[in-house]
Amino acid sequence: MKELRPKMQIIFQDPYESLNPRMTVLDLVSEPLEVNDLVENEAEKLEKVAEILENVRLTPPEDFMFRYPHELSGGQRQRIAVARALIIHPDFVVADEPVSMLDTSTRGEVLNLMMELKTLTRSYLFITHELAVARHFCDRIAIMYLGRIMEMASSDDIVKNPVHPYTRALLEATPVPNPRARKEKINIKGEVISPINPPRRCRFYTRCLMAKEICSRLEPELVDIGGGHVVACHLNHV
């Protein structure tokens, strides 16, 4: 784990809970450098912290380094979380609903900032309930239902050619800014099964409008339907 940790970082959902209120911005942002032995001295640490604070637009950095989290707005706190994750240039960053607690204008700023800074990491795994946000941010989208991937493809492909009944229902429920746009309305009804010890059948079976007999006795595998678009649904291969 000591070798893996410098390669992975996480941005948590709630910037009010995820930053230690007793630590200054300097301590919070430099912590990943210190625990992973990535700096040799204080001067190097200050230089790296100043650089990443500039990157996340908390400038001038000297104005922010010695503040505590309660002296920052929600958006500024989440920028600290982004800086803390990216300062060590990890291979992989899990961003767990990183903008869902922010107000609308700040959300766009933080999202765009994370996109601009994507060269500081190899990849983000971005977790969200909002398909519009996923489409804006991600190259590929995986749609999950009760802990399993139901469909995965490029963001464009998921939005333009959804195949799984659950993906299609999700897309129909996503608001669009055009008041004249007409959409087929698919209401998902039925019981949500427990994700603990789920039965060996399609997890979406109790809510699916397209269900067949086979869906009640066999859990569908993920199958590539072409171009890296994978779907777990019997409709595609029965």
- Which amino acid type is present at position 168? R
92-96, strands of its sheet edge to edge: 8-11, 92-96, 123-127
Query: Cβ closer to ligand SF4: 8 or 188?
Result: 188
Is residue 162 near ligand SF4 by the rule CB under 6 A?
A: no
Taking the complex as a whole, how short is the minimal distance between the CB of residue 200 and ligand SF4, in angstroms?
Answer: 13
* Interface pick for ligand SF4 out of 165, 169, 229, 230 (rule CB under 6 A): 165
Select the residue interacting with ligand SF4 from 210, 217, 224, 227 (CB under 6 A): 210
**Structure token pair of residue 73:** 């707005």
Considering the rule CB under 6 A, would residue 234 count as an interface residue with ligand SF4?
A: yes
- Smallest distance from ligand SF4 to CB 144, Å: 13
Site for ligand SF4 contains 49 (CB under 6 A): no
* Minimum distance from residue 159 beta carbon to ligand SF4 (Å): 19
- Per rule CB under 6 A, is residue 208 in the interface with ligand SF4? yes
Shortest distance, position 188 Cβ to ligand SF4, whole Å: 11
Q: Does 202 participate in binding ligand SF4 (rule CB under 6 A)?
A: yes
Q: Is 69 in the site for ligand SF4 (CB under 6 A)?
A: no
Which residues are CB-neighbours of 111 under 8 A, at least 6 positions away? Answer: 99, 133, 136, 137
- CA Rg value for the chain: 21
Cis peptide bond N-terminal to 90, omega within 30: no
212-231 binders of ligand SF4 (CB under 6 A): 212, 215, 220
Beta bridge partners of 154: 140
Q: Which is nearer to ligand SF4, 20 or 187 (CB)?
A: 187
Residue (125 or 218) nearer to ligand SF4, CB: 218
When asked if residue 145 is in the footprint of ligand SF4 (CB under 6 A), the reply is: no
Footprint of ligand SF4 (CB under 6 A): 164-165, 202, 204-205, 208, 210-212, 215, 220, 233-235
